C-alpha cells in the first residue's frame, strides 16, 4: 500500500501544492546499482546536468518560499539543514563535473551529488508539511507502524555499506535519515500519525540519497518529459484509490523500533 494512502482524506497534491516536487522527482532519481543505460554524448550529458542543476535551483527557491510563508508556525531547523545539504551537494556536483575529465562529459560523482541534492530538497518539503500535520486517527496507527518499522529496518541494513564507503556526504545523509526517523518515532509515540508519515518519507528520501552518494544505488537523471507524465498518472491513481474507503486503514499493528542506531 502506498504511503499516501495512510491519510485518505488528504491528497498528496493538496498537501504539497506545487509541481516543483514532481519536477524534481522526474529529473533526479536513484535506481538499483547495475541497471543498464545508454552512454550519453558529452554534449548531451553536460546539457542535461546543467538543466537539472538549474531546475534544482528553482526548486530550492520554491521550498524556501514555502518555508518562509509558514515561518511563524514551524521550527525551520531541520528544513534549513536539508536545504543547506541540497545546496552544498549541488555546488559540489558542478565542481565534480567540471574536473571529471570524463570522455562522455558525465561524472558519476556529479550524478550522485545531483541525485542526493534533489532528494534532500524533497525531504525538506516533507518536513514543512510534517510540521503542519499535527494530527492522527486511531484507524491510521497500524499502517503507520508498519511503515516506520520497515524504514528502521532499511536504515539499519544500509548502515554498514554506507559507512564503509568512507564518504563524508553519504555519512551526513545517513545521519539526517536517522534523525528524521527519530522525529517520525516521536510523532508516532505522540499519536500524531500524519506527522509521523511525513517524517518517515523524509527519512526514506535521505536514506536513498545516502545510498546514492555511497555508490550503493545508481543515480539517474531523466529528461522530465515522459517521466513527469507517468508520475502524474500514478498520483491520480493514488488519489482515486485513497477515496475508496475514507478514513479506514487496514493492517496489523507492529512494534515501532526505538531510534537506537
Count CB neighbours of 50 within 10 A.
12
Measured distance CA(255)–CA(203) in Å, rounded: 18
CB-based contact 31:240 (threshold 8 Å): no
Q: Per-residue pLDDT for the chain (261 aa), expressed as one digit of tens each?
A: 444 444 334 344 443 343 344 444 445 555 434 333 444 455 555 677 888 899 999 999 999 999 999 999 999 999 999 999 999 999 999 887 765 544 444 578 898 999 999 999 999 999 999 999 999 999 999 999 999 999 999 999 999 999 888 899 999 999 999 999 999 999 999 999 999 999 999 999 999 999 999 999 877 554 444 444 554 555 455 444 443 333 445 579 999 999 998
Nearest residue to 117 via CA among 52, 22, 179, 161: 52
Measured distance CA(248)–CA(233) in Å, rounded: 24
Count CB neighbours of 95 within 10 A.
13
- Beta-strand ranges (E) seen in 73-209 are none
- Cβ within 8 Å of residue 210, ≥6 positions away: 116, 158, 162, 170, 171, 173, 174, 177
Amino acid at each position: 500500500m502506498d504511503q499516501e494512502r495512510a491519510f485518505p482524506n488528504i491528497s498528496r497534491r493538496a498537501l504539497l501544492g506545487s509541481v516543483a516536487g514532481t519536477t524534481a522527482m522526474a529529473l533526479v532519481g536513484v535506481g538499483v546499482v547495475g541497471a543498464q543505460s545508454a552512454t550519453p554524448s558529452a554534449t548531451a550529458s553536460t546539457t542535461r546536468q546543467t538543466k537539472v542543476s538549474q531546475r534544482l535551483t528553482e526548486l530550492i527557491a520554491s521550498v524556501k518560499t514555502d518555508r518562509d510563508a509558514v515561518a511563524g508556525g514551524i521550527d525551520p531547523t531541520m528544513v534549513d539543514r536539508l536545504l543547506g545539504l541540497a545546496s552544498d551537494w549541488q555546488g559540489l556536483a558542478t565542481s565534480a563535473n567540471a574536473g571529471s575529465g570524463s570522455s562522455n562529459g558525465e561524472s558519476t560523482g556529479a550524478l550522485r551529488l545531483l541525485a542526493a541534492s534533489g532528494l534532500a530538497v524533497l525531504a525538506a518539503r516533507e518536513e514543512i508539511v510534517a510540521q503542519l500535520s499535527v494530527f492522527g486517527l486511531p484507524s491510521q496507527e497500524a499502517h503507520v507502524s508498519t511503515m516506520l518499522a520497515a524504514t528502521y529496518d532499511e536504515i539499519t541494513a544500509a548502515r554498514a555499506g554506507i559507512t564503509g564507503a568512507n564518504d563524508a556526504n553519504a555519512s551526513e545523509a545517513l545521519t539526517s535519515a536517522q534523525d528524521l526517523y527519530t522525529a517520525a518515532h516521536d510523532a508516532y509515540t505522540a499519536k500524531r500519525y500524519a506527522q509521523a508519515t511525513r517524517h518517515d518519507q523524509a527519512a526514506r528520501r535521505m536514506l536513498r540519497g545516502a545510498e546514492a552518494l555511497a555508490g550503493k544505488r545508481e543515480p539517474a537523471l531523466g529528461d522530465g518529459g515522459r517521466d513527469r507524465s507517468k508520475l502524474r498518472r500514478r498520483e491520480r491513481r493514488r488519489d482515486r484509490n485513497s477515496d475508496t474507503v475514507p478514513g479506514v486503514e487496514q493492517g496489523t499493528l507492529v512494534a515501532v523500533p526505538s531510534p537506537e542506531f
